[in-house]
Amino acid sequence: MNPLRLVKDMILALHGGKEPRHLAAGFALGAALGLVPKGNLFAAVFFLLFFLFRVDKRAAFISAALFTPVGFALDGLAHRVGLALLTAAPLRGLWTYLYNLPIVPLTRFNNTVVLGGVVLGAVLYYPLYRAGLRGAAYYQSHLRARVEATPLVRALKGLAFVQKYERWLA
């Protein structure tokens, strides 16, 4: 993961003319995907949500890339949350019922880290959305003109592959 490319992609996402709520939703959804361990149906569903809802895909992919290491760092917390939920006596019948359904076991919800990551992603979605909304609105109203005036951004926006990439995402 090239940090300069992430910075360039984030600048392009912020300058893409999208509404701040789409950027914020993409950021929060990508963060939720980053917190969930990969290789299960939950991760595939989160990834599918990028395309089902009107979110900024660049912000979602960048956020997922940034939050994947955070998800690994929070594995201990996710394990404790998942273990508490899976061993809660009132929920035992729910877990048994879900496990006996045809497709649900593919989510690997019975793995403590997976369940804890999904819960953490769901709990953190709204606060991350609000933070992303405030950050995108602040950037677009206060910092956008300054960043667009830098020689690096002007050079990046003039490259042919960047223009093709912007048209592809529009």
pLDDT recorded at residue 168: 62
Q: What is the dihedral of CA 126, 51, 62, 128, to 10 degrees?
A: 0
pLDDT recorded at residue 140: 77
What distance in Å separates the CA atoms of residue 27 and residue 131, rounded to the nearest whole number? 9
pLDDT recorded at residue 104: 86
83 vs 155 pLDDT, higher one: 83
Residue-wise pLDDT tens digits, 93-152: 999 999 999 888 888 888 999 999 999 999 999 999 999 989 888 887 887 778 777 787
Residue-wise pLDDT tens digits, 28-67: 999 998 998 888 888 888 888 888 888 888 888 889 999 9
Residue-wise pLDDT tens digits, 1-14: 566 666 666 666 66
- Count CB atoms within 10 A of the CB of residue 140: 17
What distance in Å separates the CA atoms of residue 49 and residue 55, rounded to the nearest whole number? 9
Query: What is the reported pTM?
Result: 0.74
What distance in Å separates the CA atoms of residue 129 and residue 83, rounded to the nearest whole number? 27
Give the Å distances, CA to CA, from 32 to 47, 58, 68, 143.
10, 15, 9, 27
Is residue 167 very low, low, confident or very high in pLDDT (cuts 50, 70, 90)?
Answer: low
Q: Counting runs of H as helices and runs of E as strands, what totals does the chain give?
A: 10, 0
pLDDT recorded at residue 17: 54
What distance in Å separates the CA atoms of residue 132 and residue 58, rounded to the nearest whole number? 14
Residue 23 has pLDDT above 70, yes or no: yes
- Count CB atoms within 10 A of the CB of residue 165: 14
For the chain, give every domain's residue range.
Answer: 3-169
Asked if 114 and 36 count as a contact pair (C-beta separation under 8 A), the reply is yes
